[in-house]
């Protein structure tokens, strides 16, 4: 009777051990499968294709990257403020930091595109641009004769942040080439001018520290493939 009891207890211990081992193996397999699933769902093995035309996005070696996208004139003003706030927050809130730690690109596309043209173009087409973007110079109660983002007055809402002042702090700009084509045709229609000539004129008169991109929306998506955080400014 004692031998049978010992054998029964031994069998129970063996089966219990087998059950625990099986459960552990199942849990490990499930965990591995979940980890693999999470990894695959994160990128599905995706590696973005690189193009020479996008190499400029990788030129800055700063530790943080921000792409501020805007498609409206009011968003253009806000974009300047966002860029400044990001840098100020970074230096005030983190130890041993500097504004140069952040690579910031502001993109003017769609309705914000004329904000990427220099004062010469605003001097020539400012009335049309002001109408197209529904802007009014609060100082003159009329259209802008210079790029509004070069105006430092507080009543425009840019809090003293200008294109030039942000360039001095390391910000660069991207301008939509496709939208520039659309604006050149609108100007040509309003003035009886040649759309191609106006397009070439606008292309040659972009703001400092800026570049034209094939399409602003494309630059916004490509920037994320290069590790930029995307922030939309409305």
Which CATH number fits the domain that encloses residue 84? 3.40.1260.10
Res 156: pLDDT: 76
The β-bridge partners of 57 are none
Q: How many CB atoms lie within 10 A of CB 90?
A: 16
The answer on 224 and 119 residing in a single domain is: yes
Strands 172-176 and 64-70: unpaired
Checking if the pLDDT of 232 tops 70, the result is yes
The answer on 196 and 86 residing in a single domain is: yes
Using the CB atoms, write b or e for 15-44: b if 16+ within 10 Å.
eeeeeeeeeeeeeeeeeeeeeeeeeeeeee
Res 43: pLDDT: 64
- Prediction pTM value: 0.81
**For range 99-126, the mean pLDDT:** 98
Structure tokens given for 72: 């409206």
The answer on 218 and 160 residing in a single domain is: yes
Res 154: pLDDT: 56
The answer on 120 and 77 residing in a single domain is: yes
The answer on 158 and 124 residing in a single domain is: yes
Name the residue among 131, 146, 215, 218 with its Cα closest to residue 181.
Answer: 215
Please say whether the beta carbons of 57 and 95 come within 8 A. no
The pLDDT tens digits of the residues spanning 33-61 come to 454 444 444 568 899 999 999 999 999 99
The pLDDT tens digits of the residues spanning 69-108 come to 999 999 999 999 999 999 999 999 999 999 999 999 999 9
Res 5: pLDDT: 52
Structure tokens given for 225: 């493939």
Q: Which domain holds residue 187?
A: 53-233
The answer on 117 and 1 residing in a single domain is: no
The answer on 204 and 110 residing in a single domain is: yes
The answer on 130 and 87 residing in a single domain is: yes
- Mark which of 10, 29, 47 sits at the end of a domain: 47
- Mark which of 10, 32, 47 sits at the end of a domain: 47
Number of domains comprising the chain: 2
The answer on 77 and 27 residing in a single domain is: no
CA 68 to chain centre: 4
The answer on 227 and 131 residing in a single domain is: yes
Higher pLDDT, 5 or 213: 213
The answer on 192 and 81 residing in a single domain is: yes
Res 23: pLDDT: 45
Please say whether the beta carbons of 132 and 114 come within 8 A. yes
The answer on 180 and 72 residing in a single domain is: yes
**For range 110-125, the mean pLDDT:** 98
Q: How many CB atoms lie within 10 A of CB 149?
A: 28
Q: pLDDT band at 155, cuts 50/70/90? A: low
């Amino acid at each position: 009777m004692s031998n049978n009891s010992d054998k029964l207890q031994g069998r129970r211990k063996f089966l219990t051990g087998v059950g625990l081992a099986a459960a552990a193996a199942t849990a490990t397999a499930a965990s591995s499968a979940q980890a693999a699933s999470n990894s695959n769902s994160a990128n599905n093995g995706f590696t973005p294709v690189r193009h020479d035309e996008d190499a400029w996005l990788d030129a800055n070696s700063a530790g943080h990257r921000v792409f501020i996208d805007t498609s409206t004139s009011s968003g253009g003003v806000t974009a300047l403020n966002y860029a400044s706030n990001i840098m100020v927050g970074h230096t005030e809130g983190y130890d041993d930091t500097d504004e140069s730690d952040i690579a910031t690109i502001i993109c003017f596309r769609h309705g914000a595109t004329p904000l990427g043209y220099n004062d010469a173009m605003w001097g020539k087409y400012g009335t049309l641009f002001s109408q197209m973007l529904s802007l009014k110079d609060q100082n003159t109660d009329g259209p802008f004769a210079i790029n509004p983002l070069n105006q430092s007055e507080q009543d425009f809402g840019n809090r003293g942040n200008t294109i030039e002042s942000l360039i001095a702090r390391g910000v660069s700009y991207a301008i939509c080439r496709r939208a520039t084509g659309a604006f050149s045709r609108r100007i040509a229609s309003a003035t009886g001018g040649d759309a191609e000539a106006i397009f070439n004129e606008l292309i040659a008169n972009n703001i400092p520290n800026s570049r034209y991109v094939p399409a602003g929306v494309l630059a916004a998506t490509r920037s994320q493939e290069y590790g930029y955080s995307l922030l939309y400014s409305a």
